[in-house]
Structure 1
Amino acid sequence: MEYDEPLFFKVMQYAANADRDVVDMVSGNPDWEPPQALRDGLHEYADADIEDFQYPPSEGLRELREEIAERRNVSVDQVVVTNGAGEANYLAMARAMERDAGDEIILTDPVYPYYPGKTTMLDGEARFVPTERDGSLDPAKVRDVASDDTACIVVNTPNNPTGAVYGRETMEELVAIAEEHDALLVADEVYDHFDFSGRFESALTIDSEHRVVVTSYSKSMAITGYRVGYAVFPDSHVKAAKTRHMLVNVTGSRPAQQAVLHALRNTDADYYEETRAMLRERIDAFTDALDAAGAEYSRPDGAFYVLARFDDFPGTLDNVYTLIDEAGVAGMPGEAFGTARDEWIRFALVTPRAEEAAARLADYF
């Protein structure tokens, strides 16, 4: 089986090799500082005893899992610490597929490109449900697609790339659909700390043996390189997920987990609120400049991405390359996220030069 190289890498490589200055708004790599407590925890770990430099428990450091379980009001035995949300998603989707409960995976359109990639890798068949113009998801459309061949429903809230936040009623309906068809709902909540709407509520508040919640600290603590995420599985699925995790990865990084644990225990809510305030300012500045460019755009209720559409300039890979060469701004082509927004271009607001990038776009168009 052949896998397509994610377009993220192609665009980033093209921007890196450009002959001019380029504002990189391709990937969701935060540019802001992690919590000071995370740095402190890593420094402290450097002086640990030699036994602390060896393998940690495969499912994650016990203390970290206990901290997560207490915060999320779940049993510690349900928590599997993973190599970022990427592995957490893989474990959940793989568990859904290995139950002989169907071979179809329902995804939204637009969609984070790694979900269909994992679907192909797991030999599943993707079924796409279009979201509404504002990015919201109508559960009735999911119900229309779902069948006894449905193994898994994957949703991301707050959403990349639309910025939509799915409310509790939507998540309750999705869990109910999963239960009706013996499927697993995989709720990817990696942007849970970036809700600007006040509507976000974790799927963990919905008790069901048919839902798995995955997330990571990559975005919330601005540490995408640390690769510390986790999944919360129902009791009936956690043992199989832990075994697959052990066979694929053996375990995760001990110093990264220790640093995250120290940060969780010693970082107050102001850190996250200050980050959200900064992002709100970026969103305002970027969308104001898009108004000047005459663009249509989405204003995110969550996460930190903006989709923009420019007249007679569809979101193809070639046009993204053109913007890099002629405007000095790198975004992601809408066609990378499916067919529903293939006229659009996605910009990640993870650079202090976001306002400058928008001004360049306004000048260009």
Structure 2
Amino acid sequence: MEYQEPLFFRVMQWAERADRDVVDMVSGNPDWGSPPAISEGLHEYADLGGDAFQYAPSPGLDDLREEIAARRGVDADRVVVTNGGGMANTLGMARALERDAGDEVIMTDPVYPYYPGKTTMLGGEQVFVPTERDGSLDPADVRDAAGENTACIIVNTPNNPTGKVYSEETLRELVAIAEAVDALLVVDEVYDHFDFTGEFTSALTFDSPNVVVTNSFSKTFAITGFRVGYAVFPEAHVDAAISRNMLTNVSTTRPGQYAVLHALRETDPDYYAESRALLENRVDAFTAALDEAGAEYSTPDGAFYVLAKFPGFPGTLENVRALIEDAGVAGMPGTGFGESKAEWIRFALVTPRVDDAAARLTDYFA
């Protein structure tokens, strides 16, 4: 799967430049607002001045690393704070590929589109395994694809675009496969706070030297513009990851890290619960409209995406543009996520206008 240009930006430009009102359901920018502690942290930081306005340590602010480590049950030395979850994934994949342990990166189809692009950028070879219709991943398919040339296995749970939350047993088997072929299993857990099942299992549950877990505060705190993420590396790979992070980024934004640290300490658990409840209500409203429109669709276990398949209207880039111009709704073409979802369109439910979009799709297709 070649991915030269991120299609997200092309589709968003079409939505912005359309001659009509368009409900943008393309990108995962949360609309419900950040917790007050984010702003409080920024204001507090603004008054510090001096040394606080200089380079942060390349692995991240010590206090933030310690806070993350305490929450994830790991040693703080294993935490590397990054420029968003994207850089965390890049560091994990790069470390997997630079060990002379092979050049294949196994990923799912459908896939979060940046994984194939990063693989190509890092000189790796893309290998895809299918998922079930509901987004479930059968570890046996990964086992069949894995071998001596497998450097990395990358998955995300809750999943984008399917919304599937992988079971504890699935993750356990993926860890075992990675250990058996000496691959690094990179598990992207960026949507961990948006689990509707109550059954999310972190890959950090398994004490393995082959597991890298990545995450970000972009979705959790609705701060996609802050670019504060992190990766938890096995001890043997931390120094190399920190060196690559230093050479690539020097360090991550101090104001963002300071605000995130303040928010982690001060945000009430109700904030997370209310965000999940809001999304569950949106899923119900949106899928009800898809029923009226005669569409097939996914019902997510987590995250905030719904995949829909409309009769006679495959998820091509051209059809997505037609949907923008004729229905006033912008989604992502299924072809951008791999061959298995070429007939589908993905919608991000991070807009207060979900009901408007649902009504427009019903009118257009019903």
| TM, length-normalised to structure 2 | 0.99
Which residues of 2 match residues 204-243 of structure 1 at below 5 A?
A: 204-243=204-243
Letter in 2 for 1:190: V
**Structure 1: distance between partners of 2:325 and 2:201:** 41
**Structure 1: distance between partners of 2:146 and 2:54:** 45
**Structure 2: distance between partners of 1:56 and 1:42:** 15
- Structure 2 unpaired stretches of 5+: none
Partner residue in 2 for 1:302: 302
Q: Could you list the runs of 4 or more consecutive aligned residues of structure 1 that deviate by over 3 angstroms after TM superposition? A: none
1:117-174 CA-partner distances (Å, limit 9, x unpaired): 0000011111100100000100000000001000000001000000000011000100
Letter in 2 for 1:130: P
Matched, 1:48 2:39: no
| TM, length-normalised to structure 1 | 0.99
Which residues of 2 match residues 14-33 of structure 1 at below 5 A?
A: 14-33=14-33
Letter in 2 for 1:233: F
Partner residue in 2 for 1:200: 200
Matched, 1:156 2:152: no
Residues 58, 246 of structure 2: 8 Å contact kept: yes
Which residues of 2 match residues 1-365 of structure 1 at below 5 A?
A: 4-365=4-365
How far apart are residue 3 of structure 1 and its match?
6.4
1:225-283 CA-partner distances (Å, limit 9, x unpaired): 00000000000001100000000000000000000000000012100000001111111
How far apart are residue 355 of structure 1 and its match?
1.3
Letter in 2 for 1:92: G
For the residue of structure 1 that corresponds to 2:129, the secondary structure is strand
For the residue of structure 1 that corresponds to 2:341, the secondary structure is coil
**Structure 1: distance between partners of 2:78 and 2:247:** 18
1:56-112 CA-partner distances (Å, limit 9, x unpaired): 111000000000011111001000000000000000000000000000000100000
1:195-235 CA-partner distances (Å, limit 9, x unpaired): 00112110001000000000000001000000000000000
**Structure 1: distance between partners of 2:77 and 2:64:** 12
Letter in 2 for 1:303: A
Letter in 1 for 2:98: E
**Structure 1: distance between partners of 2:41 and 2:9:** 32
How far apart are residue 49 of structure 1 and its match?
2.9
Deviates more, 1:45-54 or 1:237-246: 45-54
1:302-356 CA-partner distances (Å, limit 9, x unpaired): 0000000000000000000000000000000000000011100000000000111
Residues 218, 228 of structure 1: 8 Å contact kept: yes
Residues 3, 113 of structure 2: 8 Å contact kept: no
Question: Identity over aligned residues, as a percent?
Answer: 72
Letter in 1 for 2:214: V
Letter in 2 for 1:234: P
1:41-67 CA-partner distances (Å, limit 9, x unpaired): 101111113111001111000000000
Residues 104, 150 of structure 1: 8 Å contact kept: yes
For the residue of structure 2 that corresponds to 1:186, the secondary structure is strand
Paired residue total? 364
Residues 3, 116 of structure 2: 8 Å contact kept: no
